[in-house]
């Protein structure tokens, strides 16, 4: 279950009983010599209905800033393909972009990444594990799959997603218009009962997955802070599995990162912190500052954790500021 890396302070944990493969859902390795003091970035949803180039801009920024590693909270591709070749085509593009940064990059499964049987099969073929954990010094990291098992979407819904996604790709300046059109069309396909449950968050965490994390937590009870990455925010779901995970976390300090809703939210309660990431390329679900494209920067120093938000839309190349003449003003 445990793969020892270069230094004893760093460990990776995988469920070898799940899938026998040497493929892994992360890029690179954690830096040698990493200790209890480190920094990492957390990126939000790239999809659905992404604006081309935004996520790539985020990767370029992180190449300059050089965090020790990057966490991603899911929905890296538009997905929902029933054709495996189309799914592979999407993955080939974005995987190459991530690999080119040479940054350790840890993926979390989102519903777009895992939303059809073809997407599940391609993920397992390319990336192997769908959940895992690792430890750096006194910090423990759990990466959950909240699509376990995945919730199959009816074909007519997938068709609406695909049509709307294509429109946004073609005319990103009309994203909000197309998002409303998408929402209205989805509503028209739902029964009144289904409409009432639209805001319900469905989180899937299998018994096998939960047993794996119970074992990891038991074996790492001395960790001083635990970070949990998941796509759908479990604290917003009526999920007995997520409730059980929080029971296992008990009174240890922990932070849960999630995505899915494309809008940044932060809350804290006793020993726990919940952060719903905003988007890093996906379509906006609102017009406030929390709906901007952004990256979260996390610093761990001497057991203390701090969070800073970097609004990506405000990051500009210096070449955008050419010189101009300054008139002398009396005064």
Rounded distance between C-alpha atoms, residue 287 and residue 310, angstroms: 17
> Alpha-carbon Rg of the chain, whole angstroms?
20
DSSP class of residue 103? Answer: -
Residues lower than pLDDT 70 in the chain:
1-8, 197-198, 328-331
Exposed / middle / buried, residue 214 (Cβ in 10 Å: 0-12, 13-18, 19+): middle
Give the pLDDT confidence score for residue 112 in this predicted structure: 97
Rounded distance between C-alpha atoms, residue 77 and residue 88, angstroms: 10
What is the strand order of the sheet 304-311 is part of?
26-27, 105-106, 69-72, 38-43, 294-301, 304-311
Contacts of 162 by beta carbon, 8 Å cutoff, 6+ apart? 80
Name the 3-class secondary structure at 153: coil
> Which residues on neighbouring strands pair with residue 13, listed in sequence order?
2, 133
Q: How far apart are the first and last CA of the chain?
A: 73
Which of these CATH numbers, 3.40.605.10, 3.60.21.10, 1.10.10.10, 3.90.1150.10, describes 2-211+230-316?
A: 3.60.21.10
Give the pLDDT confidence score for residue 316 in this predicted structure: 86
Residue 18 · residue 123 · CB < 8 Å: no
Closest CA to 99 of 28, 3, 10, 7: 28
Q: Spell out the alpha helix ranges (H) of the chain.
A: 54-65, 84-101, 117-127, 155-170, 175-188, 192-196, 207-219, 240-249
Give the pLDDT confidence score for residue 80 in this predicted structure: 96
Long-range interactions of 5-9: CB distance < 8 A, separation 24+:
5/29, 5/30, 6/32, 7/32, 7/33, 7/34, 9/34, 9/35, 9/36, 9/136, 9/137
Give the pLDDT confidence score for residue 330 in this predicted structure: 60
Residue 73 · residue 110 · CB < 8 Å: yes
Give the pLDDT confidence score for residue 19 in this predicted structure: 75
DSSP class of residue 289? Answer: G
CA 1: distance to chain centroid? 24
């Amino acid at each position: 279950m445990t793969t020892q890396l270069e230094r004893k302070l760093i460990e990776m944990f995988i469920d070898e009983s799940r899938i026998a493969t040497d493929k892994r859902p992360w890029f690179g390795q954690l830096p040698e010599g990493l200790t209890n003091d480190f920094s990492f970035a957390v990126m939000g949803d790239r999809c659905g209905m992404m604006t081309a180039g935004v996520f790539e801009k985020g990767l370029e920024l992180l190449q300059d800033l050089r965090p020790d590693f990057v966490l991603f909270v899911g929905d890296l591709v538009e997905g929902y393909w029933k054709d495996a070749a189309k799914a592979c085509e999407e993955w080939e593009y974005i995987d190459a972009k991530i690999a080119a940064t040479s940054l350790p990059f840890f993926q979390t499964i989102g519903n777009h990444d895992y939303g059809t049987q073809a997407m599940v099969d391609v993920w397992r073929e390319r990336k192997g594990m769908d959940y895992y954990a690792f430890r750096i010094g006194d910090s423990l990291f759990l990466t959950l799959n909240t699509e376990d098992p995945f919730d199959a979407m009816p074909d007519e819904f997938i068709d609406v997603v695909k049509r709307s996604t294509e429109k946004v790709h073609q005319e990103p300046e009309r994203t909000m218009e197309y998002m409303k059109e998408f929402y209205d069309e989805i509503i028209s396909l739902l029964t009144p009962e289904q409409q009432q449950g639209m805001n319900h968050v469905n989180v899937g965490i299998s018994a096998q997955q939960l047993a794996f994390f119970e074992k990891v937590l038991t074996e790492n009870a001395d960790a001083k802070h635990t970070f949990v990455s998941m796509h759908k925010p479990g604290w917003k779901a009526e999920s007995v599995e997520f409730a059980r995970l929080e029971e296992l976390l008990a009174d240890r300090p922990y932070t849960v990162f999630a995505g899915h809703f494309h809008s940044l939210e932060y809350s804290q309660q006793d020993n726990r912190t919940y952060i719903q990431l905003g988007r890093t390329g996906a379509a906006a679900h609102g017009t406030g500052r929390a709906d901007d494209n952004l990256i979260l920067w996390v610093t761990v120093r001497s057991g203390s954790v701090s969070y800073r938000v970097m609004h990506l839309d405000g990051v500009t190349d210096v070449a955008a500021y050419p010189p101009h003449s300054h008139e002398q003003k009396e005064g």
